[in-house]
């Protein structure tokens, strides 16, 4: 692993420590900050400048760094009811993903849109696709090649929270991100 990669992983770790959601496996979360249950999550802090993150090879566990980067890539974004607009906080989350995708060209991802249970169940598949595509379009706009991003929709068929509260609805209106290729490169291999 070269120094550039280590720096990037360090950034990913520091970002994940403050911005990761409950989508990340608990064992890999640097801090157990619970996810906000609404789409109005506070924006994550800006990524640290590379120069402010000195990294010594011996201090970085490649597995932990890869896990942190994976958590950043997996971090969900959320939507308002019946909308597919990406809010500013989630734009920051997408910027972090874009940074990693630029850093690791082998990364390919699948974005899956999800909805709350309101609205017709079949329309929710269309709406979920629109949400996934909104994230893909943003990543393309910030320089990621479209061929590296697949989109899908589960409609309201895969809720995080089966409840009928506003908080449950907000948690379910989301894009899920999954690395489908290139995850080994995060470990420097």
Do the strands 77-78 and 149-155 form a parallel or antiparallel pair, or are they unpaired? unpaired
Smallest gap from residue 123 Cβ to other proteins (A): 5
| In the complex, minimum distance from the CB of residue 116 to other proteins, in angstroms, rounded to a whole number | 8
Q: CB-wise, 92 or 152, nearer to other proteins?
A: 152
Enumerate the β-bridge partners of residue 178.
110
Residue 22 is classified by DSSP as T
Nearer to other proteins, 28 or 38 (CB): 38
Q: Residues interacting with other proteins, by CB under 8 A?
A: 81-82, 110, 112, 117-123, 125-127, 129-130, 133, 136, 150-159, 164
Strands of 149-155's sheet in order across: 77-78, 174-181, 108-114, 149-155
Q: Quick one: 64 or 180, whose CB is closer to other proteins?
A: 180
Longest pairwise C-alpha distance within the chain: 54
In whole angstroms, how close is the CB of 81 to other proteins at the nearest point?
A: 6
Looking at residue 86, the DSSP 8-state letter turns out to be P
Please identify, using beta-carbon distances, which residue of 61 and 121 lies nearer to other proteins.
Answer: 121
* Buried residues in 110-140 as b, exposed as e (16+ CB within 10 A): ebbbbbbbeeeeeebbebbbbbbbbbbebbe
CB of 136 to other proteins, least distance (A): 7
The smaller minimum CB distance to other proteins, of residues 99 and 128, is found at: 128
CB of 118 to other proteins, least distance (A): 3
Asked if 70 contacts 12 with a C-beta cutoff of 8 angstroms, the reply is no
């Amino acid at each position: 692993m070269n120094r550039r990669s280590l720096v990037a992983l360090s950034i990913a770790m520091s970002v994940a420590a403050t911005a990761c959601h409950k989508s990340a496996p608990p064992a890999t979360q640097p801090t157990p900050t619970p996810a906000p249950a609404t789409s109005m999550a506070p924006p994550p802090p800006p990524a640290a400048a590379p120069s402010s993150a000195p990294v010594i090879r011996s201090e970085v566990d490649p597995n932990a760094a890869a896990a942190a980067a994976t958590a950043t890539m997996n971090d969900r974004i959320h939507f308002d009811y019946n909308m597919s607009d990406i809010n500013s906080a989630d734009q920051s989350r997408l910027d972090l993903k874009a940074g990693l995708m630029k850093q690791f060209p082998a990364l390919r991802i699948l974005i899956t849109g999800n909805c709350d249970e309101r609205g017709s169940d079949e329309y929710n598949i269309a709406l979920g696709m629109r949400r996934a595509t909104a994230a893909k379009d943003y990543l393309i706009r910030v320089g990621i090649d479209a061929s590296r991003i697949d989109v899908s929709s589960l409609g309201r068929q895969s809720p995080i929270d089966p409840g009928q509260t506003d908080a449950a609805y907000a948690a379910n209106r989301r894009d899920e991100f999954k690395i489908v290729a290139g995850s080994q490169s995060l470990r420097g291999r």
